[in-house]
Structure 1
Amino acid sequence: MPAYFIVEVHVTNPEPYAAYRDLATASVARHGGRFLARGGAVTALEGDWQPERFVIIEFPSVDAAKAFYTSADYQEALQVRLANSVGKAFIVEGYSPPM
């Protein structure tokens, strides 16, 4: 069953943050993920939440998403992200309709 790694990000230092994009892109590919959304326009429909940047990455499973997140290569990228942005990240299990 697929799983989704979702991050809401507010970039505080755009120039150094650029290194994160390159590191994360390579790590996602190595771990079998694919970007579904990456910083496109966000339209809030309900509530007072005003997110400015979302990233959604699909992985084959929750275990694969966790392996990506805890991998040495992503941890290197994560340090860059955390130093140059604030945000929230989580993994959500996908849905497979019954056959």
Structure 2
Amino acid sequence: MPKGYVLAEIDVTDPQGYEAYKKLSSQAAADHGGRFLVRGGEVTHLEGERTPNRIVILEFDSPEQAQAFFDSPQYQAAAAVRRRASVANFYCLTGA
């Protein structure tokens, strides 16, 4: 069965608020079996017109588990905090 991934491109607008989101989302990810593969760090722009100041990649045992994490009330409560502290695009991906 292929792995599932959540990929986020994030531009933080309120660093203090974003720190609160990180705590909430970390717990939600752990509770849903998620593993952080990339969480922040340096982003090297290779091509295209946009470079987010933060990229996050979470791995799950299946695409369904990744979607269940994102849709969960626990994560959606964290996402409400994130929306006040950043501008972001989120994607659910199926591994090879």
Bin for the TM-score computed over the shorter chain: over 0.9
Identity across matched positions, percent = 45
Equivalent residue pairs, number: 95
Aligned equivalent of 2:48? 47
Aligned equivalent of 2:9? 8
Question: Any idea what the Cα deviations from partners look like across 1:23-60, whole Å, max 9, x if unmatched?
Answer: 00000000011000001101111233322110000011
DSSP-derived class of the 2:38 partner: strand
Computed over aligned residues only, the root mean square deviation of the Cα atoms, in angstroms, reads 0.9
Q: Distance in 2 between matches of 1:51 and 1:16?
A: 18
DSSP-derived class of the 2:58 partner: strand
| 1:68 to partner: Cα distance | 0.3
Structure 1: which 5+ runs fail to align? none
Structure 2: which 5+ runs fail to align? none
Which runs of 4 or more aligned residues in structure 1 lie more than 2 Å from their structure 2 counterparts after TM superposition?
A: none
Tell me the TM-score normalized by structure 1.
0.91
Q: Distance in 2 between matches of 1:47 and 1:23?
A: 32
Q: Distance in 2 between matches of 1:83 and 1:48?
A: 24
Q: Please, which moves more after superposition, 46-55 or 80-89? A: 46-55
Aligned equivalent of 1:87? 88
* Residue 19 of structure 2 is aligned to residue 26 of structure 1: no
Q: Distance in 2 between matches of 1:5 and 1:82?
A: 17
Aligned equivalent of 2:70? 69
Q: Distance in 2 between matches of 1:26 and 1:35?
A: 12
DSSP-derived class of the 2:65 partner: helix
DSSP-derived class of the 1:56 partner: strand
Q: Distance in 2 between matches of 1:15 and 1:48?
A: 27
